[in-house]
Amino acid sequence: MASIVYFTDMRTGYKKNLYDKLGALFTRSNIGETIREKDTVALKLHWGERGNLGFIPPTLVRYVVEKVKNFGGKPFITDTNTLYTGSRRNAVDNILTAIANGFSPEVVGAPVIVADGLCGRDFAKVKIKGTHFSEVKIASAVHHAKALISLAHFKGHEGTGFGGTLKNIGMGCGSPGGKQNMHSDVKPSVNENNCTACGSCIEVCPVDAITFTAERKSRINHKKCIGCGECVTVCNYNAIAVNWQSDLNVMQEKMVEYALGVVQEKKQKCAFFDFVMNVSPDCDCCGWTDASIVPDVGILASFDPVALDQAALDLVNEAAALPGTKLARKEAAANKFAAMYGVGGEHQLEYAEKIGLGSRKYELVRVACGGGG
């Protein structure tokens, strides 16, 4: 059976701005049904690395916060500590980064909580029936919240093709130890012919697994490598790559199993949004935001995370590609993310459907509200 995905585009008009359209989407989709009086409600989002500007605008997040309060809920915005080296590896730096990017309690109207504690060790062990895991490590604040609303910025990702709701709640709600488990099969390798010895990969490696050879070429020690993929992200010379077809399929499956661990104990208490705007080619974990590969598409909402991500992926692939972006001369590709990375993200959707997280079949319901919407 097809799941319902609600959609509003980016067209606005007099007395019908984007807040009005988001409100109409919230109302039409009946998201408020997930919230009961005095429920603690985790608003899981990604507030961006320092230097990144691709995240959901904090003022739109505040609008959702106010909606949750109107239903009697007690919302808090939350994310987890990272596996890689950056500005969000512990709760102190993480919260300071959130504030620097505009996600302060004064702006969003809710507390900012790092879901897995000071150093990423505050998590709950959740039993699941997966191919790769029988137990997953879910960030404590997300696990213990009575309800969950995922606010995902839909964009590209070098390891999963795209990052949407499944990645926001799967990878995004795992503790750093859980993230390491998800990445453990990803072992990058160096093409020495392309290596310029710039040292970027060495600088960002969190476990000192990369060194220079006598010939001044980077070399990765796979015994020490934890598979976080940071070296792939920062290399500007195509010198570091991953075995896309095998390793990354496994990583996507593990990520989806973590998403299952997040939602399985919150029956009828989860709702999901994909903000398909500023569709950057790279994850918001990067310390930059590259040019969007398509024009802003809109905002989608559903109770089915699989249908939601499938609809968002289809809308991006149907959109006109923007020139002068990372897509280069591959604008006509059937899957824009596969054209950039060799992985389009369909596998995460296939596997999520297989383990019962949702359906790839959907009915797109357009929510009209002013302008061209």
- On whether the CB atoms of residues 281 and 254 are closer than 8 A, the answer is no
Smallest Cα–Cα separation from 276: which of 308, 307, 252?
308
Which of 184-198, 265-279, 324-338, 349-363 has the least mean pLDDT? Answer: 324-338
Residue 242 pLDDT grade (very low, low, confident, very high; cuts 50, 70, 90): low
Q: What is the pLDDT of residue 373?
A: 43
Question: Is residue 324 classed exposed, middle or buried when 0-12, 13-18 and 19+ CB atoms within 10 A define those classes?
Answer: exposed
Mean of all residue pLDDT scores within the chain: 93
Q: What is the pLDDT of residue 371?
A: 42
d(CA 339, CA 76): 37
| Range among 235-239, 314-318, 341-345 rated most confident | 314-318
Give percent of the chain above pLDDT 90: 80
| Residues 248-274, mean pLDDT to the nearest whole number | 95
Q: What is the pLDDT of residue 234?
A: 81
Better-predicted residue by pLDDT, 242 or 48:
48
Cβ-defined contacts of 243-247 (< 8 Å, 24+): 243/187, 243/189, 244/341, 244/342, 244/343, 246/185, 247/185, 247/186, 247/187
pLDDT per residue as tens digits for the range 179-213: 878 987 778 889 999 999 999 999 989 899 999 99
d(CA 3, CA 139): 28
Strand order in the sheet with 362-366: 112-114, 74-79, 40-44, 147-153, 270-276, 298-302, 3-9, 362-366
Q: What is the pLDDT of residue 94?
A: 97
Distances (CA, A) of 25 to 6, 63, 368: 7, 12, 9
Which of 107-121, 185-199, 236-250 has the least mean pLDDT? Answer: 236-250
Residue 331 pLDDT grade (very low, low, confident, very high; cuts 50, 70, 90): low
d(CA 131, CA 373): 42
Which of 71-80, 137-146, 320-329 has the least mean pLDDT? Answer: 320-329
Smallest Cα–Cα separation from 55: which of 148, 162, 155, 175?
155
d(CA 131, CA 142): 23
pLDDT per residue as tens digits for the range 292-315: 999 999 999 999 999 999 999 999
Q: What are phi and psi of 129, to 5 degrees?
A: -110, 90
**Cα-based torsion angle of the residue sequence 91, 95, 101, 103 in order, rounded to the nearest 10 degrees:** 130
| Residues 139-147, mean pLDDT to the nearest whole number | 98
Smallest Cα–Cα separation from 254: which of 307, 310, 179, 314?
179
The answer, yes or no, to whether residue 231 has pLDDT greater than 90, is no
d(CA 156, CA 282): 5
Q: How many other C-beta atoms are found inside a 10 Å radius of the C-beta of residue 328? A: 11
* 334's tokens: 């059937």
The answer, yes or no, to whether residue 372 has pLDDT greater than 50, is no
The answer, yes or no, to whether residue 243 has pLDDT greater than 70, is no
d(CA 219, CA 225): 11
Q: What is the pLDDT of residue 187?
A: 80
The answer, yes or no, to whether residue 245 has pLDDT greater than 60, is no
Q: What is the pLDDT of residue 344?
A: 93
Q: What is the pLDDT of residue 244?
A: 52
Q: Residue 153's beta-bridge partner residues? A: 275
The answer, yes or no, to whether residue 275 has pLDDT greater than 90, is yes
